[in-house]
Structure 1
């Protein structure tokens, strides 16, 4: 195949010496490669003239096949590199706590069944920190919400409800839904998600300003504080699925919706293992809670 590539470079540049320089060979070794190829094929491929090097008539007939063989070889090499990348790949993901707990374990387990040597590094943060990690290259991609990011490519995965979370003995706990107006003056525990918060957006759309008493990064710590009667909160339904806290979760009116997406700088520059993982995730969206 090196002889075919040498021939292609000679045709492209019109010169043995320029081809040798471009490929890092001596001129004599390039000449020997072409002689060897001509001997093997029993066809004269090139002739030299005062204006440079050109294909013979027979060479011109054969050249499209040689070009195709080079393309196939390069495609094979690319696939080899992909396989090697999946053998030794590390996938670095920026993730929020509900995704870490309720999506990643199953996704990682199934993906590693296909590619056992791929390793995962999870960086848990909020919409702002994950966005910065992606832009700085600290993670390959991350889970974010599209309204919270700028300058990134995003693929929306799912929408999910957010629910009001109350102590079980709260005066509103027996209702089927709670209105934002009913809870606006309650002590509110805000899940700190950086510069963007779905509950805060929902309050502001209704021209309401909640009575924020605590700001916390951890959904589970918030549930503990709600259980202790220190306030109420609005959290993603996803994170409320497997809890044994003595709390009540109710739909909110008007509904508070969270859109989850994958964000990255540029799909073409993603490491191959991360590309494969994103493709796997997108083909298994229906399985995700």
Structure 2
């Protein structure tokens, strides 16, 4: 099995299409099909289920995926190190991120980093905390922004203490002037984000032993705000998540005592990052420090 077989395998997995993989890799569709068939014949079992909806991994293919990605990552690291020794800075770095970081910090980070290192390609993967953690463990991304409550065995550098706010419809009457308490949330209808995106809300409810009702399980932050605006309930959101949202018919209350999440920049092992990924990680941390964003 050659490296190109692994690269073709990973491309088909990523795009779930033999045709799309051929376009990306600039190979003929027959070459892609032949390579996958050769790989399947060599290992002795099918890797993909082919159908009208595309190409999807078999259970055995899912088992092999992390190993193949590790091989490709090791080759990428080798190539980057060789380039570094030759006085070049190049490579590919994959970043996993949650929505609030993607909107608030990443555009300027990517723009300024790319000006300094135009030969380093950056790929951005956006999802929830669980997505980013899974991508880190499967070697889909090199580094990622997560809440430290999801750190598990990951190496995480805390960077930002993000205050949680209670989002309510205009006209909502708080029992207190300018703030709300956990007791005020009892028996409220909570508009929540779906599993993997609602960590702060789930932890808040469990921490205070609240009884609440939930009808809505939303992914998009703006959609969540729309549900609250329409009077379907109240919600809990980090301050960073609402900074760039269109908000007109809701109010935001702080909690007393203060509730917050801590965001961090995570990787599997800092010492094993490729030169380009290590360069980006250090750049991000310096950017956050220089712009007085780090507050932990």
2:263 corresponding residue in structure 1? 260
In the alignment, which of 230, 236, 239 is matched to residue 237 of structure 1?
239
Residue 144 of structure 2 is aligned to residue 150 of structure 1: no
**1:43-75, CA deviations, whole angstroms, 9 ceiling, x for partnerless residues?**
xxxxxxxxxxxxxxxxxxxxxxxxxxxxxxxxx
Deviations, residues 111-152 of structure 1 (Å, cap 9, x unaligned) = 112112322211111111211110001111111122223221
Equivalent residue for 1:133, pick from 116, 132, 135: 135
Partner of 1:283: 286
Question: Once the 2 structures are TM-superposed, how far is the Cα of residue 278 of structure 1 from its aligned partner?
Answer: 0.8
TM-score normalized with structure 1 length: 0.67
CA–CA distance in structure 1, aligned partners of residues 251 and 136 of structure 2: 36
Q: 1:120 aligns with which of 105, 119, 122?
A: 122
**Structure 2 counterpart SS, 1:281:** helix
Equivalent residue in structure 2 for 1:194, among 193, 196, 201: 196
Distance 1:92 1:167, change over 3 A: same
Does the 8 Å CA contact 2:162/2:239 hold for their aligned counterparts? yes
3-state SS of 1:280 partner: helix
The 1-side partners of 2:170 and 2:143 are apart by 38
- Residues 240-268 of structure 1: per-residue CA shift (max 9 Å, x gap): 12333221111012322110011111112
**1:78, CA displacement in angstroms?**
5.9
CA apart distance, 1:220: 1.7
Extract unaligned runs of 5+ from structure 2. Answer: 1-80
In structure 2, the residue corresponding to 1:187 is in which secondary structure?
coil
**By how many angstroms is 1:193 displaced?**
5.4
Rounded to whole Å, the distance in 2 between the matches of 1:161 and 1:81 is 44
**Would you say the 8 A contact 1:134–1:141 is kept in 2?**
yes
Aligned residue in 2 for 1:270 = 273
Q: Secondary structure at the match of 1:105?
A: helix
Larger Rg: 1
TM-score by length of 2: 0.65
Count of residue pairs the alignment pairs up: 211
Mapping 1:15-26, distance limit 5 Å? none
Determine which of 78, 84, 88 is the counterpart of 1:80.
Answer: 84
CA shift for structure 1 position 233: 0.6
Per mean C-alpha deviation after superposition, the further-off stretch among 156-165 and 188-197 is: 188-197
Using the alignment, how far apart are the partners of 1:111 and 1:215 within structure 2? 36
Structure 2 Cα separation of the partners of residues 140 and 200 of structure 1: 28
* C-alpha separation in 2, matches of 1:82 and 1:147: 41
Could you tell me which residue of structure 2 aligns to residue 216 of structure 1? 218
Change in Cα spacing, 1:92 to 1:173, as seen in structure 2 (3 Å) is farther
Rounded to whole Å, the distance in 1 between the matches of 2:94 and 2:137 is 13
Structure 1 residue runs of 5 or longer lacking an equivalent are: 1-76
Q: Confirm or deny: 8 A CA contact 1:92 1:139 kept in the other structure.
A: yes
Match of 1:107, SS state, is helix
Give the 3 Å change call, closer, same or farther, for CA 281–173 of structure 1 in structure 2. farther
- Larger displacement relative to structure 2 (172-181 or 255-264): 172-181
Question: What RMSD in Å do the two structures reach over aligned CA positions?
Answer: 2.3
Structure 1 residue ranges, 4+ long, deviating more than 6 angstroms after superposition: none
**Take 1:203 and 1:173, find their aligned partners in 2: how far apart are those partners?**
19
Instruction: Tell me the alpha carbon deviations over residues 70-104 of structure 1, each in whole angstroms, 9 at most, x when there is no partner.
Output: xxxxxxx86734853x33x2221111000000010
**How do 1:83-98 and structure 2 match up within 5 A?**
83-84=87-88, 86-87=89-90, 89-98=91-100
Distance 1:174 1:244 in 2: 26
